[in-house]
Amino acid sequence: MRGKAYRGLRDGQLVELVAQKDAGALEALYDRYGRASYSLARRILTEETLAQEVVQEVFLSLWRDARRFDAGRGTVATYLLSMTNHRAVDVVRREENLRRWRTSDEGLELEPDPKARVEDEVEAGERRAEVRAALGELPAAQREALLLAYFGGYTQREVAALVGVPLGTVKTRMAAGMRKMKQALQDAGTEELPWTRQ
């Protein structure tokens, strides 16, 4: 474990230190979110090298301009993981051969994960269970639309073509799916969720 001196600091405080070019603060944030970021990048890109490049760029982006992070817009976790998603999607859109996930809940294992690590259980494990449960409760068509966009990097028009429905239907499905996800995660109601945390 790295960065013991930073353990007691909140994410926002660490970002302020990163803005002052404190390498230890960036390392502490990497300890907190590097694994989630890498897991997401690997899921989207499948190739280890590309996933590493994306995660590296995410954390270097924070390093280069930590002032871009706006605490009023969301948590540090949301910022880093959203950036991971966007950058990985950018890559996958350029490299069509990576898009092997025709149905994007393939390999996602929406049932509880029996192999979660002990240290992962406490927070990330609970959060994972909540997110999976929320996804699992979505109508299949809405889930498919969300996951094709999120993990496959498909645009709404591409999703429409893949699924064989009109573009307007995809827009409606994505909107409904995201609305339900938001509600389900709010109903899960823990203080760990981004909209209730600092």
Partner 1 sequence: MDTPMSHSEYEELAAGYVLGALEPDDEHVFQRHLGGCAICEANVRELEAVVGELAYAVPPVDPPDTLWAGIRREIRPEAVRRGALPAVAPGAEAGGRGLRLLPGLVAAAAILLVVVLSLWNLNLRDQNAVYRARVAALERATQLANDPNASLITLASQPGGSPEAQATVIASTPKDRGVLLVENLPPLQRGRVYELWGVPGGTFADAQKALVFVPLRRQGVTTLEFEVPIQPGTVFAITDEPGPDGSPKPTTNPLLVGKPTTA
Residues in region 158-177 near partner 1 by CB under 8 A: 159, 171-172, 174-175, 177
Task: Answer yes or no whether residue 81 interacts with partner 1 by CB under 8 A.
Answer: yes
Interface with partner 1 (CB under 8 A), residue from 9, 13, 47, 78: 78
The helix/strand/coil state of 133 is helix
Query: Mask of contacts with partner 1, 27-56, x by CB under 8 A?
Result: x--x---xxxxxxx-xx----x-x-xxxxx
Told to check if 138 binds partner 1 by CB under 8 A, we report no
- By beta-carbon proximity to partner 1, the closer residue of 4 and 8 is 4
* Site membership for partner 1, residue 65 (CB under 8 A): yes
Residue (of 64, 61, 50) closest to 93 by Cα position: 50
Structure tokens at 16: 């302020």
Specify the amino acid at residue 49: T
Residue closer to partner 1, measured from CB, 87 or 164: 87
Give the chain's radius of gyration (CA, Å).
17
- Interaction with partner 1 in 83-102: which residues (CB under 8 A)? 83-87, 89-91, 94
Name the minimum Å distance from CB 156 to partner 1: 5
CB of 80 to partner 1, least distance (A): 8
Q: Is 11 in the site for partner 1 (CB under 8 A)?
A: no
- Written as one string, the DSSP assignment of 52-101 is HHHHHHHHHHHHHTGGG--GGG--HHHHHHHHHHHHHHHHHHH-GGG---
Q: Least distance in Å: CB of 157 to partner 1?
A: 6
For 115, what's the count of Cα atoms within 13 Å in the CB-facing half-sphere? 1
Rule CB under 8 A: choose which of 13, 24, 141, 169 binds partner 1.
24
With b for 16 or more beta-carbon neighbours within 10 A and e for fewer, the 122-147 pattern comes to: eebbebbbbebebbeebeebbbbbbb
